Amino acid sequence: MSRLWGGRFASAQDPHFLSFQNSLGFDRRLWREDIAGSAAWARALEGAGVLSKGEREKLERALDELGRELARDAHAFDGAPDEDVHSFVERKLGERVGDLAKKLHTGRSRNDQVATDLKLWLKGALYRLDANCTELMAALVALAERSVDVALPGYTHLQRAQPISAAHHALAYVEMLARDRERLADACDRLDACPLGSGALAGTAWPIDRAKLADDLGFTRGPTRNSLDAVADRDHAIEAVFAATLVCTHLSRLAEDWIFFATQEAGFLELSEDVSTGSSLMPQKKNPDALELVRGKCGRVLGHLVGLVTTLKGLPLAYDKDLQEDKEALFDALDTAAACLAVTALAVRGARWRAERCAAAAASSYQNSTDLADLLVAAGVPFRSAHERAGAAVRRALELGCELEALPAAERARLVPELAALDLARELSTARVLARRAVVGGTAPSAVRAELKRWNKELALHAAQAPVTTPR
């Protein structure tokens, strides 16, 4: 077929090269944005006196018909000879309106066209990723509500450290996802300027009202302010993939925690069968494959981020064909992040804490030793001295094979005589250890319930404010 750029060439390109450089196989997903941008450009050309009202109306009707046809036919692109989605849309438009389709590209380059399409697509994709984050947050909050009173060992250096509430653990990931949502919103806000009208690199020569065009396409920051930057900029793609990488990093950490919690060695958590698999050889196995895949796919998204930054770092202004590499990386990174969020939400909704096993583990391994030191401090002992004496008590308990609260009376009288009047079994119980940490952000059930109340309010507010449809 005739190429959009073929007039200067006397001979055809090598078919292997054409296959190598064609992008329709992946940029076809931009067809909605390409049609929306073309309709807006037709309106802008009418305003500039390039198109008559009748021509503009005819083009818009044809574009609308094409959009409805593509929405109905999932195989419309199969076998198409076009090199990219822009060529495809223009050819299909020409089949409907003839030579009038050729007027639509007046003053427009595929450089500003693809930059606009990509930004329009990315706004919707980031909105959908935000919705995926919110869905997982809601699942974690619901799990936390069921597990406020489940005591769990907290870890540092993967060694038991202090007891925490299982709900507190779940809400830690809600906090991470909330920051992820802020990053997604921030990235969406920063990209929200319209490149259309920048031409190939120097701006269009036609009197296009770019502010009106930007508003027509729903760009809240108006038109981009430098045509070179507008067509060469892929900050928004990199920033979106960076945000997706952090989402996946947080999911990977959750997956790692839960994979360990679900081992027979820990036995704290039971994963539902709908996110687990078995072994082709060992009949007894129940493998946490969903979470392992989430953990593994984080590396894939991170790889896309590194690839995008590497592609951009050495490019001169303005547009270079290297930038075609942005789409596959961007599309796959955001698709993968969305899939990981959805699968993690499934795992969270089906998970069940083994409360008795958790409680037994939380009450062992001297996780209450800091509280012993704090009790000594309350009795007037300086903390450093209290810390040393609590350590000595742990050492003696290890020698005797008992927990701190079970030290014989004679040992307690020798090691911590200031606490003789206290019921150490009660004061060092997991319930008391948890209850003491009632500060904002602490693991006490009272503090966790306050956070749950706050998060339920936040999520309800988000649901009430969420738009019915995604942005254009």
Which positions are catalytic? 157, 279
C-alpha atoms less than 13 angstroms from C-alpha of 43 in its C-beta half-sphere: 18
Count helices and strands in the chain by DSSP H and E runs? 20, 4
Neighbours of 69 (CB within 10 A): 12
Distance CA 190, CA 471 (A): 15
3-state helix, strand, coil in the chain (%, to 5): 65, 5, 30
The answer to whether the beta carbons of residues 326 and 354 sit under 8 Å apart is no
Which H helix or E strand runs over 46?
helix 31-47
CA distances from 78 to 2, 84, 325, 448 (A): 18, 13, 21, 54
What is residue 322's DSSP assignment? G
DSSP string, 147-202: -TT-EEEEEETTEEEEEEEHHHHHHHHHHHHHHHHHHHHHHHHHT-SB-TT-TTTT
The set of residues, in sequence order, having a beta carbon less than 8 Å from that of 1 and lying 6+ positions away, is 81, 82, 91
How far is 347 from 255, CA to CA, in rounded Å? 10
